[in-house]
Amino acid sequence: MSFVLSQEQRLLKQTAGDFVKSRSSLKRIRTLRDSADATGFSRDIWREMAELGWVGMLLPEDDGGSALGYMDLMMVMEELGRGLMPEPMLSTTLLGANAVLLGGSEAQRRELLPAIARGELLVALAYQEPSGRFDPHTVQTTAEPSGRGWKLRGEKCLVLDGHVADRILVSARTSGSIADRHGVTLFLIDPREHGVLVNRQMLVDSRIVASIRLSDVAVDESAIVGEPENGGNLLEAILDRATAGLCAEMLGAMSAAFEMTLEYLKTRKQFGVAIGTFQALKHRAAILYTEIELARSAVMGMNQALDEARPGASALVSVAKVSCSDAFLLAANEGVQMHGGIGMTDEHDIGFFLKRARAAEMTFGDAAWHRRRYAELEGY
């Protein structure tokens, strides 16, 4: 157990912070949105991130990665979060690469992981369905045996970076009924295959996702990732890890929103004094600070559990996600309120954090969903 950052971790955080400052700004995020950029992020920045070793960070060295852990990943994700960077870490590094790492065959690993780590291959995970809210086990998409392979049919939604992914992992039901934990299998498909319709959508936080329609998409046995029928458990493991990365990103974003607000409290004058002199605002700022520090502890505790592969890690993922969802929303809501009228304008950046807070809360399960999950995991 260590909540004290190592020398290497501090250096990594510093490097990531410098990188975000030199390559990006909230102005760039705004321009990506306003220009309706087709990609929604910068492929040049993505390539540089791969060269720095961040894209393949979690992968073993044999697979072209840097063999680092989640506490290390936190150093990078937090800084990316500060800059609201939309580059596809969540989809490719956390969902896609983890799926192949945890479930993939030798051949799949060799084919995909080094290319992912080099930044050449984007991989998305299509697990959510319109009727399932946040539950990864609600799968109506079907895979039926057909010849020597399978035929996939169904609809997926909110596929992060699905609009640019070179490969898409799809969860499909191979047996059982709609919300069964058992009977789900993961398939890896190429979006260019016949019958795949990828529809680009922009979300409230101006990040890009896809809704995907699968109309009798033919795949063979080699497309299966992980144990057939047992994709539900694989999905849980993937989503736990992706949530860890998302939490670190949220921590960075909430910290940036808070710092922006704190600066405003110190400089904005009303009634002849800085508004930060008012106790009504001071106390709320102190409570917000407390929530952010507790969220930071929760994220660190979770990362340690994941890095040490402790049995209670999944429950701690839920603790961290609840903490980060609540604290980020509070930071964003208070940020807008304390900025007053200017905080409601599109011209001011604080609104970007509010929108990201909402979207991040709803990604991989909101706070209420994770509290229910925690109670189930803990047996009450």
1 binding other proteins? (CB under 8 A): yes
Residue 288 CB, nearest approach to other proteins (Å): 9
User: Tokens 């789900």 belong to which residue?
Assistant: 184
Mention every residue, 6+ apart, whose C-beta is less than 8 A from residue 82.
17, 20, 252, 253, 255, 256
* Shortest separation between residue 370's beta carbon and other proteins, angstroms: 9
φ and ψ of 185, to 5 deg: -130, 145
Shortest Å distance, C-beta 282 to other proteins: 4
Binding mask 243-262 for other proteins (x = CB under 8 A): -------------------x
Contact at 8 Å (CB) between 181 and 112?
no
Smallest distance from other proteins to CB 325, Å: 12
Q: Give the C-alpha separation, 128 to 159, whole Å.
A: 7
Residue 230 CB, nearest distance to other proteins (Å)?
A: 25
Q: Is 330 in the site for other proteins (CB under 8 A)?
A: no
67 binds other proteins (CB under 8 A): no
- DSSP codes of every residue in 255-310: HHHHHHHHHHHHH-EETTEEGGG-HHHHHHHHHHHHHHHHHHHHHHHHHHHHHTT-
DSSP conformation class of 230? B
Contact, 116 vs 134, CB < 8 A?
no
Residue 265 in the binding site for other proteins (CB under 8 A) = yes
Contact pattern for other proteins over residues 307 through 326, marking x by CB under 8 A: ---------x-xx--xx---
Quote the tokens at residue 303. Answer: 């990362």
Cβ-based burial of 87 (10 A; exposed 0-12, middle 13-18, buried ≥19): buried
Residue 277 within binding range of other proteins, rule CB under 8 A = yes
179 binds other proteins (CB under 8 A): no
Q: Count of alpha carbons within 13 Å of 161, Cβ hemisphere only?
A: 25
From the list 12-20, 122-130, 197-205, 372-380, the region that binds other proteins by CB under 8 A is 372-380
Told to check if 337 binds other proteins by CB under 8 A, we report no
Residues in contact with 106: Cβ distance below 8 Å, sequence separation at least 6, in sequence order: none
Is residue 374 a contact point for other proteins (CB under 8 A)?
A: yes
Nearest approach, Cβ of 277 to other proteins (angstroms)?
A: 5
Residue-wise DSSP of 7-61: HHHHHHHHHHHHHHHHH--HHHHHHHHHTT-SSSS-HHHHHHHHHTT-TTTTS-G
| Residue closer to other proteins (CB basis): 282 or 310 | 282
Task: Work out whether 283 is an interface residue with other proteins (CB under 8 A).
Answer: yes
The number of residues that bind other proteins (CB under 8 A) is 40
Taking the complex as a whole, the smallest distance from the CB of residue 279 to other proteins amounts, in Å, to 8
β-pairing verdict for 167-173 and 224-225? unpaired
* 363 lines the binding site for other proteins (CB under 8 A): no
Residue 376 binds to other proteins (criterion: CB under 8 A): yes
202-234 CB burial, b ≥16 within 10 A, e <16: ebebbbbbbbbebeebebeeebbbbebebbbbb
Q: Which residue lies nearer to other proteins by CB, 86 or 335? A: 335
- Examine residue 21 and tell whether it contacts other proteins (CB under 8 A): no
- Report which of 245, 246, 225 is spatially closest to residue 100, judged by C-alpha positions: 225
Task: Report, in Å, the least distance between residue 23 CB and other proteins.
Answer: 29
Stretch of 68-76, 277-285, 330-338, 342-350 contacting other proteins, by CB under 8 A: 277-285
Question: Which of 16, 20, 242, 295 contacts other proteins by CB under 8 A?
Answer: 295
If one asks whether residue 300 binds other proteins (CB under 8 A), the answer comes out as yes
Regarding 296 and contact with other proteins (CB under 8 A), the answer is: yes
Which range, of 64-72, 167-175, 222-230, 371-379, touches other proteins by CB under 8 A?
A: 371-379
Residues in contact with other proteins by CB under 8 A are 1-4, 262, 265-266, 273-274, 276-277, 279, 282-283, 285-287, 289-290, 293-298, 300-301, 316, 318-319, 322-323, 368, 371-372, 374-376, 378, 380
